[in-house]
Structure 1
């Protein structure tokens, strides 16, 4: 087999491959054997039909088509290896010549991972937020905990902000009561804004037994997005009572004996959270600086696929769970469709560039991933997916995604190494020491998490499917030869 590679642009090549016909012998034998198992010819036992009879009855073209489809992935893989390119996704294969008994020539165009040179990044400097926990922060945290332990008691007065009311609701659209628009005994905190637009203003000032009607756009159900006439009957008004902030509350709400101990723990937890946020901020800003230093061409098809993947995940997974469609989501965000498209594309470009650059750094520095590092990363991913480690690990193995996890960890190590050499200062001008190794690693892996599409494209199954792509063209060529 002979092959040559032509660079079409920094992210795409054309492979030209010439295969002597004798190298198709194994695939031709396999083709005859496969066809033999699928046909019945009078006078011959099943599976024992001679090749010449198959050629006469079913045409040499059918055999050539089967043989070429079987052989193409192998020859394509050999050409890729010989050219020393890193393909992304499936190739576009074109059979340029097929002469029975003489030669098979084909071309394969495929996107490739671009060659990237990593410059000296030791001079990167970034600024991050200062870790500072104020007394106000602590008081707010304790107050939120206090809210969770609030009790309620019925009162004989009109509903006010913060009260918990019990409601019966009925929604009508175009004068008709909706089947799923009736509910009774609904508990609702006035002012929370969690039920229907306009309901807070409607129930304020209404006593138990009172009824009020207002219009609102429904957020979910069979008439989501439509204007409805909603009738609300208040069956009970209850005032919320907060516990006293004292040592008894500390013992009720925590493992601490005193309120001072509870506040000290809250301060520490808030500081830990802000330090993690600071580490994440450092990773992201260092990554942005690194990307500015490197010229990274992005394959257009890969970019289109990544944009479509992001939009699909948003529309069919995230928004679907919230009972929203894209139009309503954009309205809430105050964005136009054009702004959304631009932002999605920019995020996709950054995701792909991030993976390319960090993968190049992993290769350059020869970073390896230990079993312990992989296990720790798996545990974190399982927690973020609300799955047990065993469930998550089983799903990863079944879907063949272990290499994806290895790639995530390696990229995280690469980014952590870049951050370690960077100068990170807070807004007070103080040098920030990101010395919490576990926290730094976790933040780096999160910042370096790859794009789904780019990762899937590089996990090349393309070689195995190259033959299928060429099936029709191989058949055409084969028919030309047998008819001739």
Structure 2
């Protein structure tokens, strides 16, 4: 087999492949055998019909077509390997020549990974915000902990912010009940928000037994966003009684003996979480800084497909949130043109980042072992709320394992880039990202492994500001 490649653009190639007829013979024999099993010819047993008889009964052309269809995928893959091309999509294949007993020739046009030089990332500089833990942050966590152990007392007074009310809701449109827009005996904290516009305002001042009607918009169902009248009735008003934050509470709510120890642990846990957020920001900042040093040609069909996918995702999220695109743009203070431009920028950055991380993984000769793959599958299953074994079986059955491996390799590549960078906070302190553990604590440098604890986290985008 001979093949030649023509570069149509930095991201598209055309393969011309010439296959000698003798290389088609195994596929031709298989085609005759398959057809012999499918036809009935008097005087011959099924499966024992000679090729010459099949040529008369079915036609040589039909046999050749079946043989060519069998050979093309294998010859295409072989031609890709011969020319070191990495395809990004399904090819457009055309048989340009088929001379019986002589030669088969076909062309294949396909989007391919672009070639580019990986910029030097050793000592790359990036900056992130300081980790700040305020007393207000700590007290907010302490308050949340107290609320977990709060008791509810029925009160005979109008509801106020922070109270828990038991209520019924019923929506109507033009006087007719809206199907599915009704709830009963639901507990709701006044002032919490996130449900129906106008609900908190309506509840303020209502007592047990009161009813009220207010105007709002539906946030789900077929009539999402529709104007409706909502009748709310309150059957109970309850006041939260929070336990004192003292030594007795510490012993009941934690493994600590004193409130002081529990308070210190809350601050420490908050700090760990902030450090993890800072580390994620550092990864984004380093990758963004590296992307600024490189230009990678992108396949426009790949960009268009990803743009369409993300638009659909945004629209779906808006439906779930009960928002229209107009309302979303108003809240974000964006025009539609600005939204589209920002979305395209993020898509192009994301695709460029994937190509860059793939190239770094190849340059660094990174690999993935079975344990890393297993851990990654378990983590992905947990993120999607699925059983790990069922998730793994699905990935294997649908041939998604190469995608999982690529995610791990990109995570390792990003970890290598970040570890070689110099990341400082706003105060000028150099961050110790290499020894940061998954819980936000720091490992003893003497015991730290060579790979970053974040090495398997896939990096989809350098920044996300949607």
- TM-score normalised by structure 2 residue count: 0.89
Matches within 5 A, 1:70-469: 70-315=70-315, 333=332, 335-436=334-435, 438-439=437-438, 441-446=452-457, 448-449=459-460
SS at match of 1:90: coil
**Aligned twin of 2:446:** none
**Aligned twin of 1:461:** none
- Change in Cα spacing, 1:376 to 1:27, as seen in structure 2 (3 Å) is closer
User: 2:2, 2:19 within 8 Å by CA — same for their partners in 1?
Assistant: yes
User: 1:276, 1:443 within 8 Å by CA — same for their partners in 2?
Assistant: no
User: 1:283, 1:443 within 8 Å by CA — same for their partners in 2?
Assistant: no
CA drift at 1:293: 1.5
Structure 1 CA distance for aligned equivalents of residues 411 and 234 of structure 2: 54
CA drift at 1:19: 2.0
What is the count of residue pairs matched by the alignment?
450
- Change in Cα spacing, 1:410 to 1:182, as seen in structure 2 (3 Å) is closer
1:27 aligns with 2:38: no
Structure 2 CA distance for aligned equivalents of residues 332 and 398 of structure 1: 43
**Aligned twin of 1:478:** none
- Change in Cα spacing, 1:248 to 1:173, as seen in structure 2 (3 Å) is same
Structure 2 CA distance for aligned equivalents of residues 149 and 269 of structure 1: 19
- Change in Cα spacing, 1:253 to 1:299, as seen in structure 2 (3 Å) is same
- TM-score normalised by structure 1 residue count: 0.85
Give me the CA root mean square deviation.
2.5
Structure 2 CA distance for aligned equivalents of residues 372 and 345 of structure 1: 37
Structure 2 CA distance for aligned equivalents of residues 51 and 325 of structure 1: 65
SS at match of 1:89: coil
Structure 2 CA distance for aligned equivalents of residues 389 and 156 of structure 1: 50
- Change in Cα spacing, 1:258 to 1:437, as seen in structure 2 (3 Å) is closer
**Aligned twin of 2:442:** none
SS at match of 1:106: strand
CA drift at 1:437: 5.0
Structure 2 CA distance for aligned equivalents of residues 222 and 312 of structure 1: 18
**Aligned twin of 1:470:** none
User: 1:280, 1:444 within 8 Å by CA — same for their partners in 2?
Assistant: no
User: 1:86, 1:112 within 8 Å by CA — same for their partners in 2?
Assistant: yes
CA drift at 1:347: 2.3
User: 2:119, 2:293 within 8 Å by CA — same for their partners in 1?
Assistant: yes
Q: Cα deviations across residues 151-197 of structure 1 (Å, max 9, x unaligned)?
A: 22122222222221222222211111223233332222111123311
Structure 1 CA distance for aligned equivalents of residues 197 and 134 of structure 2: 35
Q: Hey, which of these two has a bigger chunk of helix by percent?
A: 1
Structure 1 CA distance for aligned equivalents of residues 236 and 390 of structure 2: 45
CA drift at 1:266: 0.6
CA drift at 1:83: 1.5
SS at match of 1:47: coil
Q: Cα deviations across residues 85-141 of structure 1 (Å, max 9, x unaligned)?
A: 222221111111222232222111111111221122224111112123222221121
- Change in Cα spacing, 1:194 to 1:419, as seen in structure 2 (3 Å) is closer
Larger relative contact order (C-alpha < 8 A, sep ≥ 6)? 1
Q: Cα deviations across residues 52-108 of structure 1 (Å, max 9, x unaligned)?
A: 332223222211111110111122122222212222221111111222232222111
- Change in Cα spacing, 1:215 to 1:323, as seen in structure 2 (3 Å) is closer
